[in-house]
Structure 1
Amino acid sequence: MAKREPFHVQIKVRHYELDSLGHLNHAVYHSYGEVARLEAMEKASGGRDGLRAENLAPVLLESHIVFRRELRQGDVVEVTCEMKFGEGKTFHIANNIYKLDGTPSAEITCTAGLMDLERRRLVEDPRGRFERAGIDLKVLTTAD
């Protein structure tokens, strides 16, 4: 059985995203990761708002980035998004940013959780809660 590829989206580097050195501003890398996370969640939900119906929303708790190669105006990149679930209330999200020739540009790792919007607390078993809300985890993770 072939392994699934992580969700990915293409983004073009715009001139207004550059810093004074002429390469992509460090904060914009994080924005690209957020674009991939939001697009992945939109696809995985199939246009339904199952998490809101459950009074839940994903929240980002921590984000870390490693810069590998600079990006410049006009570069087009692939940004991947993959969630990894374990035990407890949190899960991890990996975003990798690649130039179209496959050169790694940045690696972003995030810790996230699902928040109960009424109680303002993280819920147990985020993977199970995603599934009960109708989220297609095959979009969000390559694990079976």
Structure 2
Amino acid sequence: MTEREPFRTRIKVRHYELDTLGHLNHSVYHSYAEVARLELLELSGALGGGLRDARLASVLLESHISFRRELRAGDVVDVTCETKFGSGKTFHMDSNIYKLDGTLSAEITCTLGLMELDLRKLVADPRGRLELAGVDTKVLSGSE
């Protein structure tokens, strides 16, 4: 399979998102990655009825951020999101935040699982279970 560009969405940094130093508050970087994750999940069909009918939901288990360059009010950024499936019960949805000039501002790595809502347990083979629920995993993971 040929590799494609990761999903990306554009966001403008708003004044109320700044910390006392005039930089984008650290927690907002995570929010920007969440916006990209949810938009990609929606695009793949993961937020529709298939997962709900299967009594499944994605859950965030871990998030890590590396800050590279500051962001300030009025900056416009592209936030990428790409899913990587492996073996086991978890998968990754990673994001990069870029200024429009291409400067990398942050790298965010997230570990997720697919939870069976009645048992409150992670399921094995999340990719397979997503596909059974009608989710287009090729939209989620263009490089696999």
CA contact (8 A) 1:6 1:139 kept: no
User: 1:11 deviation in Å?
Assistant: 0.5
- Runs (4 or more) in structure 1 with deviation over 6 Å come to none
The alpha-carbon distance between structure 1 residues 115 and 138, as it changes in their structure 2 partners (threshold 3 A), is: same
**Structure 1: 5+ residue stretches without partners:** none
Residue deviations 1:23-81 (CA, integer Å, cap 9, x gap): 10000000000000001011110873211111000000000000000000000100011
User: 1:2 deviation in Å?
Assistant: 4.8
Quote the Cα distance in structure 1 between the aligned partners of 2:46 and 2:7.
Answer: 14
Quote the Cα distance in structure 2 between the aligned partners of 1:126 and 1:2.
Answer: 23
The alpha-carbon distance between structure 1 residues 116 and 136, as it changes in their structure 2 partners (threshold 3 A), is: same
Quote the Cα distance in structure 1 between the aligned partners of 2:40 and 2:91.
Answer: 15
Aligned to 1:90: 90
The alpha-carbon distance between structure 1 residues 61 and 46, as it changes in their structure 2 partners (threshold 3 A), is: closer
Aligned residues: 144
Aligned to 1:101: 101
- Tell me the secondary structure at the aligned position of residue 73 of structure 1: coil
CA contact (8 A) 1:83 1:94 kept: yes
- Tell me the secondary structure at the aligned position of residue 71 of structure 2: coil
With normalisation by structure 2, the TM-score equals 0.96
With normalisation by structure 1, the TM-score equals 0.96
Aligned to 1:117: 117
- Tell me the secondary structure at the aligned position of residue 81 of structure 1: strand
**Structure 2: 5+ residue stretches without partners:** none
